[in-house]
């Protein structure tokens, strides 16, 4: 049991997580920003929930990727994967999404430093990079459609559009969350303990990025 000096801005933890905050004077501690919460585990329930959600999302995307792998050779009519993919274009899109992970982590680092201006800046840049990626995906889908690859053209096209479309929806939801976050920060509605929300949105965004890392390799780079 430890009493912290008022205003000391300290957080009690084990090696990155507390099992027992005991009688610590928690009122003086910025718990959530420092990875410590007033819960039985000492961990943020919101963060636990987010990681659990991301773990379950692995199952969702695992199913979609497996279905694509099974059906990518099933081309009864219309173009096949080898004929339609534009690797240089998709590589640039992948690079853009990868860099958005960098700007997102810089936003989280700025939020941890209570640097509101840079937090908003990096969140906005992340949203713009995400929008660029989604714009690229819309362009790609439009091009494929014009080349004769509709949603129901073949099992390959159905599984391809479903997989990449689901990912695109996730990126779009992420962009909405990022812009909403910028608005909330501007109105001083994300302060103190609630700053953890920047980290949570960041976790979601990085997850979207790692899913694309897998899709880029398995779908685009490895031939059918």
Partner 1 sequence: MTDQTLDEDHVIHTSDDREAHGPTDRQYIIIALILAVITGAEVVLTYIDVGPIFIPTLLVLMAVKFLIVVSYFMHLKFDNRIFSVLFYAGLLLAITVYVTALFTFRFFD
Residues that bind partner 1 (CB under 8 A): 2, 4, 8-20, 30, 33-35, 41, 43, 47-48, 51-52, 54-59, 61-63, 65-66, 69-70, 87-88, 91, 94-95, 98-99, 101-102, 104-106, 109, 112-113, 202-203, 206-207, 209-210, 213-214, 216-218, 221-222
| Smallest separation (angstroms) from partner 1 to the CB of 123 | 15
Q: How far apart are CB 179 and partner 1 at their closest, in Å? A: 20
> In angstroms, what is the C-alpha Rg of the chain?
21
Among the listed residues 132, 133, 196, the one whose alpha carbon sits nearest the alpha carbon of residue 164: 133
Tokens of 160: 């391809």
Is 33 or 190 the residue whose CB approaches partner 1 more closely?
A: 33
In degrees, rounded to 5, the angle at the alpha carbon of residue 203 between the alpha carbons of residues 133 and 65 is: 60
Q: Which is nearer to partner 1, 57 or 180 (CB)?
A: 57
What's the CA gap between 7 and 220, in Å, rounded? Answer: 54
Q: How far is the CB of 75 from partner 1 (least distance, A)?
A: 16
> Cβ of residue 109: shortest distance to partner 1, in angstroms?
6
The answer to whether 89 and 187 are in contact (CB under 8 A) is no
Residue recorded with tokens 């695109």: 168
Which CB, 124 or 145, lies closer to partner 1?
124
Q: Which is nearer to partner 1, 145 or 224 (CB)?
A: 224
Gap between the Cα atoms of 67 and 105, Å rounded: 32
Nearer to partner 1, 73 or 183 (CB): 73
Q: Which residue has the tokens 């960041």?
A: 202
- Residues 131 and 133: their CA atoms lie apart, in Å, by 5
């Amino acid at each position: 049991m430890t009493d912290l000096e008022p205003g000391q801005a300290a957080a009690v933890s084990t090696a990155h997580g507390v099992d027992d905050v005991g009688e610590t004077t928690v009122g003086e501690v910025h718990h959530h920003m420092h990875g410590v919460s007033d819960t039985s585990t000492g961990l943020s329930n919101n963060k636990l929930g987010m990681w659990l959600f991301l773990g379950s999302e692995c199952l969702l995307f695992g199913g979609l990727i497996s279905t694509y792998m099974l059906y990518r050779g099933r081309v009864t009519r219309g173009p096949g994967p080898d004929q339609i993919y534009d690797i240089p274009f998709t590589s640039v899109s992948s690079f853009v999404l990868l860099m958005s992970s960098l700007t997102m982590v810089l936003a989280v680092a700025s939020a941890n430093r209570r640097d509101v201006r840079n937090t908003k800046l990096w969140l906005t840049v992340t949203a713009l990079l995400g929008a660029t990626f989604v714009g690229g995906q819309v362009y790609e889908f439009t091009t494929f459609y014009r080349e004769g690859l509709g949603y129901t053209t073949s099992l390959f096209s159905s599984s391809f559009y479903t997989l990449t479309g689901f990912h695109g929806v996730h990126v779009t939801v992420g962009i909405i969350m990022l812009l909403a976050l910028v608005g909330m920060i501007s109105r001083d509605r994300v302060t103190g303990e609630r700053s953890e929300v920047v980290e949570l949105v960041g976790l979601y965004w990085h997850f979207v990025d790692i899913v694309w890392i897998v899709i880029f390799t398995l779908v685009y780079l490895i031939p059918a």
